[in-house]
Structures are given as C-alpha cells and as structure tokens.
C-alpha cells in the first residue's frame, strides 16, 4: 500500500514542531499575563451540541462520526445501515441513528457547553484560554486545513466593554512579541442588524451577513450577486451601497451611521458600543492604523451578538490570522441564561505560515542538540556517557553517536541534524582530563579542561 496523508492534514518535522511550540509559548505566556486560565475539552462532542451554532454553511463543515453500533452490527444489518448512511449523506443530515457525535468545529461552543455544565462552580467573570486542534470538512488550500489548531482566550460573565478593549491589547502585544505587524478590523453585529433595519430586510439578517462576510473573497459585485440570489431586492441593495465606499476615518464613518440610524435603536446601540471600544483603545496608545472600523466585516458565525474582530497581517498575503467577538446568548441554548461572553482566537497554522514567509522566526525557535559525542568504542564510550549525564543534569542537550563508526559518518550525521558541536573524548583526553570539541558552524576546534567544559 502506498502511504498517503488524509486530505487537509499534515505531518510536522522537528523544525516545524519547535517553531509551532515557540508561537504557542508566546501566546500562552500572554494569556496568563492577562489573567486567563487553561482549559481543555474533548476532541469530539455530541452532535446536538455543535449543530445550529455556526450557521448553515458552518453546519455543513462539521465532521460527523459514524456510530460504533454500525461496526458492531451483523453483516446484513450493517449493509442496510451503511446504505441508509449513504442516502443520508446525499441530503440534509438528519439521521441520529447513524451519527450522534462529531469532531469539534471550534473551541467556543465546547467552552460554552463547559460553562453551562459547571457555572455553579466557576468564579465570574471566568477567563479561560484553550490551545487545541479543531476539524472542518473544508476544501483545503493555502492557509486552510481540515485539521488545525486554534488558540482561544474568552471571558464569560461580564458585559463590560472594557473586555473588548483588553482583548485588543492582548492581540497587539502577542503579535508584537511574534514580530508580526497586524491590523485589527472591528465591527459590531448590532450595527449589521441596524443596517438590515435601515434597508428594510430585517428578516434577511443571516443572508445579509453571510454574503457580506465574503467581500474580501468575491468582491463587491460578487456580494451584490449573492444578495440578489438570496432574494434581497435591488432597492435594499442600493440603500446599502455606501458600505462599499467608507473613508479611512473610523469616527467619521460612525458619525455617518448615526445619521442613517436616526430612530434605529439597535443600530445606534452598536455605534455607541463600537465608539467606546475605539476611543478607549486609542486613548491607551493604540495606533489608528492598527485598529480599523470595517463596516463590511460580518463574520458568518450566528452566535455573535456584539463586537466582532478580524486580524490580518500587514506584510503577507494571507486571510485572517485571528478573529472573534461577543456572544451574549450562547450558553442559553444549553439552558443557562444571562452569562454574556466574548472571546478571540489566534490561528496558529496561519500565523506560522506568515512568520515563515516574513522570516521572523528566531534561531532559538528551532530545537538543536548542543553536543554530539563521537563514539570511539571501549572505555571511551563509558566515559562519554558519564560526561553526557553531567551535561544533561545542567539542562544542556547532548547525545552519543550509537555506533563506533568511521568519523566521517559521525560528522555527516551531526551536520545533517544541525548539531552545533562534535565532541572528541578519546584516550588522550581522558588521561589529561580534557575535552576536544569542534564548533561545526564556525569550523573551529579547541581543547579545554574538563572543568572549563562543564562550566
């Protein structure tokens, strides 16, 4: 059988794992610096937990798990069940007898489920961070995978808009630490609701936001075409034409909205909330170039109710590398009301690709062995192992070449593996209590006393 990867998945080499760990460590340190605590949830959830939370397009991308009862059934029954399963795949999925579990689509809905189950034991506001993989049955392309990591930070139990301000700070500090220049695009779902009221299409909110969310992919003409296909009238579309010609001044755009939203309660509420977040952030020294009011930002997930964010790298061609928003009603679907929440996510895989493209990974982001001890066999091998133990006790990485092979072969191994130093501990060195080592990067070789070598 020819080995192959499942579509949309990847293997990670030692260098890739080390660099991903570097990103995760920076994010984790900042999460904890901002007061977030870690949480992990299962890889799969009950299907009912996930469906109906992401919109119609999101629901179609959920990886459903075939019930184990099908595999345990007798052959004739199994064939019938698989036939039923195949038919179910060809129409909207509804057969709970075939699947009642699914791989998690994101980390937010499982988090809301956790909060609903444990709200009596949590201290609110409850701040958690979570770094785990998620799965989506999406079409793979650059920066888009079927298995990928999300790094989330959420706060539940607080309606304060200062949470939005703090999460903007978390974004900017984290990306500054990663040496990636970014722009945070912000909007508010209440503004989008206000726009549907202004255009007389309040019953088409989801259709409107789903189409608008594709603006950066299909352009203005594509969005208009999709709005028409979703049975939104040309008259309403004409009223919304100003969306596609916003100025670079966020506060000026908000003032324009205030005029259009006269008497529009929900729209004015969204403007008021966003104005507070923007002015507070700018007062804290955030550059207006890094924080942009994007009235066309929609984020297609149905559970957002207030502020929404999307982060884009300034110097690399990539989709969003972060996003999030406020979701004040998500735990209500699990029977627990009045627990408002807001959260942001960092897209680890896309951040990696951006950092790789920009060449900003530091040398220490790649894990390398400090010393390889040449293997001469006999007594020298035992002495080398003793010295290796002392180095490891000091937290210094070291290994012994496993066989007493030709020295050229051992050199080649060290160079291919990127090991920094090759150590020679032969009969003469043991006798004189010295160590000879060659710096393979500089090409320099020297002999030092055993005490000096161990520091």
Q: What's the pLDDT score for residue 93?
A: 44
Phi, psi of 180 (to 5 degrees): -120, 115
pLDDT tens, residue order, the chain (455 aa): 899 999 999 999 999 999 999 999 999 999 999 999 999 999 999 999 999 888 788 889 999 998 876 555 555 565 665 566 555 554 444 445 588 999 999 999 999 999 999 999 999 999 999 999 999 998 888 778 999 999 999 999 999 999 999 999 999 999 999 999 999 999 999 999 999 999 899 888 888 888 888 887 898 899 899 899 998 989 988 888 888 888 888 888 898 899 889 999 999 999 999 999 999 999 999 999 999 999 889 886 678 899 999 999 999 988 899 999 999 888 998 999 999 999 999 999 999 999 999 999 998 888 889 999 999 998 999 999 999 999 999 999 999 999 999 999 999 999 999 999 999 999 999 999 999 999 998 999 999 999 999 98
Other Cβ atoms less than 10 A from the Cβ of 394: the count is 9
What distance in Å separates the CA atoms of residue 357 and residue 351, rounded to the nearest whole number? 10
Q: What's the pLDDT score for residue 54?
A: 84
Phi, psi of 155 (to 5 degrees): -125, 125
In this structure, the dihedral spanned by the alpha carbons of residues 411, 416, 421 and 425, taken in order and rounded to 10 degrees, is -30
Structure letter (DSSP) for residue 83: H
Q: What's the whole-model pTM score?
A: 0.85
What distance in Å separates the CA atoms of residue 360 and residue 311, rounded to the nearest whole number? 18
Structure letter (DSSP) for residue 244: G
Cis preceding-peptide flag for 444 (omega within 30 of 0): no
- Residue labelled with tokens 């075409």: 225
Residue spans per domain, the chain: 14-63+105-358, 368-454
Q: What's the pLDDT score for residue 76?
A: 57
What distance in Å separates the CA atoms of residue 83 and residue 89, rounded to the nearest whole number? 10
Contact 411, 437 (CB under 8 A): no
- Residues 6 or more apart in contact with residue 455 via CB below 8 angstroms: 394
User: Could you tell me the two tokens for 45?
Assistant: 């959830």
CATH class of this structure's domain 368-454? alpha beta
- The pairs formed by 440-447 with CB atoms below 8 angstroms and a separation of 24 or more are 440/414, 440/415
Domains 14-63+105-358 and 368-454 share a fold: no
HSE on the CB side for 399, CA within 13 Å? 12
Closest CA to 350 of 325, 308, 322: 322
What distance in Å separates the CA atoms of residue 295 and residue 283, rounded to the nearest whole number? 22
Taking domain 14-63+105-358, whether its CATH number is 3.30.930.10 is answered by yes
């Amino acid at each position: 059988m020819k080995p192959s990867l499942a579509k949309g998945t990847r293997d990670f080499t030692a260098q890739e794992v080390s660099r991903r760990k570097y990103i995760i460590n920076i994010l984790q340190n900042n999460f904890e610096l901002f007061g977030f605590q870690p949480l992990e949830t299962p890889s799969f959830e009950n299907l009912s937990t996930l469906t109906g939370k992401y919109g119609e397009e999101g629901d179609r991308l959920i990886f459903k798990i075939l019930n184990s009862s099908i595999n345990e059934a007798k052959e004739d029954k199994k064939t019938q069940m698989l036939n039923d399963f195949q038919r179910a795949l060809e129409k909207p999925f509804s057969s709970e007898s075939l699947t009642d579990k699914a791989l998690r689509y994101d980390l937010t809905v499982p988090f809301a489920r956790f909060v609903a189950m444990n709200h009596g034991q949590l201290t609110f506001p409850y701040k958690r961070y979570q770094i785990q993989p998620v799965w989506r049955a999406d079409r793979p392309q650059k920066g888009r995978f079927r298995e990928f990591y999300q790094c989330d930070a959420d706060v539940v139990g607080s309606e304060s808009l200062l949470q939005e301000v703090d999460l903007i700070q978390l974004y900017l500090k984290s990306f500054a630490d990663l040496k990636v220049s970014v722009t945070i695009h912000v909007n508010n779902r209440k503004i989008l609701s206000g726009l549907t009221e202004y255009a007389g299409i309040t019953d088409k909110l989801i259709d409107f936001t789903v189409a608008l969310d594709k603006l950066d992919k299909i352009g203005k003409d594509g969005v208009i075409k999709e709005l028409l296909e979703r049975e939104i009238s040309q008259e309403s579309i004409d009223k919304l034409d100003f969306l596609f010609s916003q100025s670079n001044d966020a506060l000026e755009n908000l003032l324009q909205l205030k005029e259009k939203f006269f008497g529009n309660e929900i729209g004015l509420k969204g403007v008021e909330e966003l104005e507070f977040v923007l002015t507070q952030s700018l007062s804290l020294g955030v550059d207006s170039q890094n924080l942009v009011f994007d009235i066309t930002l929609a984020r297609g997930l149905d559970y957002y109710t207030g502020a929404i964010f999307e982060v884009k790298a300034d110097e690399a061609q990539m989709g969003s590398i972060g996003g999030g928003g406020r979701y004040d009603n998500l735990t209500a679907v699990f029977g627990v009301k009045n627990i408002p929440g807001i959260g942001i996510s960092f897209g680890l895989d896309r951040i990696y690709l951006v950092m790789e493209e920009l060449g900003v990974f530091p040398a220490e982001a790649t894990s390398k062995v400090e010393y390889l001890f040449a293997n001469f066999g006999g007594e020298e091998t035992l002495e080398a192992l003793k010295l290796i133990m002392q180095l490891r006790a000091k937290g210094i990485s070291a290994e012994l070449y496993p066989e007493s092979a030709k020295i050229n072969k051992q050199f080649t191994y060290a160079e291919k593996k990127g090991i920094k130093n090759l150590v020679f501990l032969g009969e003469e060195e043991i006798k004189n209590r010295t160590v000879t080592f060659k710096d393979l990067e500089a090409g320099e070789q020297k002999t030092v006393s055993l005490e000096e070598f161990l520091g």
